[in-house]
Structure formats: C-alpha cells, structure tokens
Amino acid sequence: MKYRITAQHTHACNITLPASKSISNRALIIRAMARSTHPIHHLAVCDDTEVLSKALNGNDTTIDIGAAGTAMRFLTAYFASQEGSDVTITGSDRMLQRPIAPLVEALRQLGASIEYVGNEGFPPLRIKGSKLQGGHITMPGNISSQFISAILLIAPYMQQALHITLQGEILSLPYIDMTIGMMRHFGASVSRSDNRIEVHPSPYEPMPYDIEPDYSAASYWYQIAALNGHSYHLAHLPATSLQGDAMIAIYATLWGVKTAFDSNGATLSASQSGSDKPLQLNLMGEPDLAQTIAITCALRGQHFSIEGISNLRIKESNRIEALISEAAKLGYIFTSPRPDCLVWNGERCEVQHPIVIDTHNDHRMAMAFAPAALCHEEIWIDNPQVVSKSYPHYWSDLQEAGFIITHNETKENNSCL
C-alpha cells in the first residue's frame, strides 16, 4: 500500500499525541518485576508496547517480538532474571540482524543463562531464568542505551548491589536518566555519578503510574509548524519531561517555532524569526530526532551538520543510509563523511517524479518525510502502516490538520507504479 499526501490547505488544530512508548515500556517492566496489580494510566497504544505487554502477561515459550527493539532488549534481561523461566525470543528479519552481544555478555557476567539460537551475537536467544548475582560490570557507553536500561530495570532484584561503569562517550544518556528517574519513583535505590551507576537490592514499591505524551511524536508537529507557519496545540504535553526528545522544543526555536506551556499542554506557534544559518548539532542524547531535523532543515534550505548519531545505523533501518537515499528523491544530496554524522551543504540533485518515499520499514522515516508534502505538490509514502510501531493515529492526525491522504493498494490502480 502507498499513501498519496497533499498539503495545499493545512490549518491550525488541536492534537492528542500518543503516550510515550519509552516510558510505557519501562513502566511495564517495573510493574512486572514488582508483581504489581496497580494500573498504568494512558499506556501507549502501539506495536512496541503491545508486544511487550503480551509477552509479560502470557505463557508462551517462544516469543516473537517482531521489529520491537525495546521489547527484545528489555525482555532479554527480564526473563534472564525470572527463576524457572525458559523462553526463546525471536523477531523480524531486521531484528535478527541487530546486534545484542553487549547485553548478553553483561547479563552472563551477572549469572544469566543465555544461548544464541542462530548467529553468534544476534537474536534469536534462548533464556533460562535464574537469580542474578549483581556485582561489578563494565559496558561500553557508545552502545544502545536500551542495553544499559534493560539491566538497570532488573537490578533491584539482584542478590547484591550492581555497579556499572560505562566506558567512553555515552550515547542517548537522557534515556538512561529516564530509567533511573522512573526506578527512583518506584522506590529503587539507584544513583549515577558521571559514568558510574550503582543500584542496591531494594524491591520496587507497587503503585499506579501515569504516562506522559510522547515528545518524539511531538517533533513532527514542530516540523509541520516550521514548514507551514500554523499553530498547533498538543494536549497534555508537559513542560518538564523525563524524555530527552523534549529538546525538540529548544531546537525548533532555531526555525522560529516557539512553545507556550499551560495546564492543558503546549501550543506551538511559528514566526518569521527563524534562522537560516547553517545548523550544527550533536544529537548523541536525542538520536531519534535526527530524521525530523535533517528533513526540516533541507526543506527550509538550511544547511546542517548533525553529529553523535552512529547508533542510527542499527535502528529499525540503517537510518543514515535511508536518509541519504530518500532525501535524494526530494532533490537533496546528504552525505555521511564519518560514521557518526550526516551533512547537507546545499548540494542539490533532480527531484524524483513522482516522489515515492521508501520507509525502509521504519516508522520514523514515514513520519519525518510525510510533511515534505508542504513543500511539494504531492508525496507518496510506501508501506505507511509502519507508523503503528509508535504513533498509530499519525495519518488521521495529519488529516485533522488539513492534509489530504488517499491510497492505492494494488499495482493495477496505483498511479505511482
């Protein structure tokens, strides 16, 4: 299926964002570890969270998490800590290509029994649960923060205190701090000093929890406001957030988008005061914003250099390669002179006609490129249903804002083919 998107008559509107899947997934693990019966309010309704919830509440011995990377990492640690469990975790073809060795090795050092079913260093995994020991481990800081968070979330139930030393630069540190903050909220004894984290044995306190809206999802509305100048009210979006992607409110000021917070959420308003000067950012803490920022800058004619994004190569797609290939269809030549960066210096190429964006089975590719319809007569998005991974009602929200979306399902009636 492909969606045809046009945006000649967009307008201001109110948007209810999905709940944060990052917070939801952590809350689910904490709730399961605590054996809590208290509710989680406003739990994210998306593929990743539903897969994780089903695995935690089911009795399957083989768990297929599809493309849900968070579920793969968090469930690996969770089941490794559950005495008597014996499960195999597998996933999509792409998931079986995403490395997991740093997490497995760290868990083995703590006493876990984990075997590779297929290729060494990659899922599927067979996990036999046991009481983990704790102690001192060292992990590289430039790996997925989910590896570190996965271990932290189960650490209060280890036999002795866990001490983690992170070596080198630390990627996605806000996500680690999100985990620590949520653990403390539920009564865990956890501290971080620079690259050292310490967790003492102390069970979580069962209690209800309320999930805040997703700032990653909000980033697409900052993008849209920057491109069309309209105002958008994002219901219940908090001024103070656990989410690193809340930095989009600061980055968007460079495009002239301001944020006014009140008790009902946030109102985004655009002005003509945005800068067209080249943008230089290090997104080591917020790599999920890279696609949104890169495409917005290019559509505004703003040169950019984005660093600190080496881990984008092992996401749902190789996001750096995907951005380079799909931006070229819009007429922009992005380059990656080093593995951790993406650059656009203004170089252009011929625009594809029609513009058909391949999502690379990546939800953020679909959502970051769709607003390009504001600058082109039409945009086609292939495999648009991938947004269900994090923002299932994204397309209906675009329609609420005046985007026109039509679709063709077969080659015979698809004018794009």
- pLDDT of 409 reads 60
Judgement on whether residues 117 and 142 belong to the same structural domain of the protein: yes
Does 275 have pLDDT greater than 90?
Answer: no
Identify whether the C-beta of residue 165 lies closer than 8 Å to the C-beta of residue 136: yes
Judgement on whether residues 245 and 358 belong to the same structural domain of the protein: yes
Tell me how crowded residue 8 is: count the other CB atoms within 10 A of its CB: 11
Does 169 have pLDDT greater than 90?
Answer: no
Judgement on whether residues 49 and 76 belong to the same structural domain of the protein: yes
Identify whether the C-beta of residue 256 lies closer than 8 Å to the C-beta of residue 270: yes
Judgement on whether residues 251 and 354 belong to the same structural domain of the protein: yes
Judged by average pLDDT, the poorest of 91-95, 308-312, 335-339 is 308-312
Q: Strands 162-167 and 13-15, how do they pair?
A: unpaired
Q: Which helix (H) or strand (E) holds 115?
A: strand 113-116
If one counts the domains in the chain, the total is: 2
For the chain, give the percent of residues with pLDDT over 90: 90
Region 231-251: what's the mean pLDDT? 97
Q: Which of 210, 240, 256 is the last residue of a domain?
A: 210
Contacts of 146 (CB under 8 A, 6+ apart): 69, 70, 73, 74, 175
Report the candidate in 192, 155, 185, 188 with the shortest Cα–Cα distance to residue 170: 192
Judgement on whether residues 219 and 168 belong to the same structural domain of the protein: no
User: What is the spatial order of strands in the sheet that 135-140 belongs to?
Assistant: 135-140, 162-167, 196-200, 189-193
Domain that holds residue 31: 21-210
Quick check: helix, strand or coil at residue 104? helix
Quick check: helix, strand or coil at residue 193? strand
Q: Which residue has the higher pLDDT, 252 or 413?
A: 252
Any idea which residues carry the catalytic annotation? 288
Q: Which of 210, 228, 261 is the last residue of a domain?
A: 210
Region 68-72: what's the mean pLDDT? 93
- pLDDT range class, residue 416, cuts 50, 70, 90: very low
- pLDDT range class, residue 413, cuts 50, 70, 90: very low
Does 20 have pLDDT greater than 70?
Answer: yes
Judged by average pLDDT, the poorest of 64-68, 84-88, 133-137, 408-412 is 408-412
Judgement on whether residues 248 and 200 belong to the same structural domain of the protein: no
- pLDDT of 19 reads 97
- pLDDT of 268 reads 98
Identify whether the C-beta of residue 19 lies closer than 8 Å to the C-beta of residue 212: yes
What is the pLDDT of the chain when averaged over all its residues? 94
CATH at residue 279: 3.65.10.10
Judgement on whether residues 175 and 221 belong to the same structural domain of the protein: no
Judgement on whether residues 332 and 230 belong to the same structural domain of the protein: yes
- pLDDT range class, residue 272, cuts 50, 70, 90: low
pLDDT tens digits, residue range 363-404?
Answer: 999 999 999 999 999 999 999 999 999 999 999 999 999 999
Q: Which of 144, 178, 210 is the last residue of a domain?
A: 210
Q: Which residue has the higher pLDDT, 277 or 208?
A: 208
- pLDDT range class, residue 317, cuts 50, 70, 90: confident
Identify whether the C-beta of residue 217 lies closer than 8 Å to the C-beta of residue 390: yes
Q: Strands 265-270 and 232-235, how do they pair?
A: antiparallel
CA distance 284 to 277: 22
- pLDDT of 101 reads 96
Judgement on whether residues 149 and 263 belong to the same structural domain of the protein: no
Does 411 have pLDDT greater than 70?
Answer: no
Judgement on whether residues 199 and 287 belong to the same structural domain of the protein: no
- Geometric angle at alpha carbon 364, from 152 and 1, rounded to 5°: 130
- pLDDT of 197 reads 98
The residue type found at 414 is N
Does 22 have pLDDT greater than 70?
Answer: yes
Region 174-201: what's the mean pLDDT? 97
- pLDDT range class, residue 415, cuts 50, 70, 90: very low
Judgement on whether residues 10 and 68 belong to the same structural domain of the protein: no
Judgement on whether residues 241 and 298 belong to the same structural domain of the protein: yes
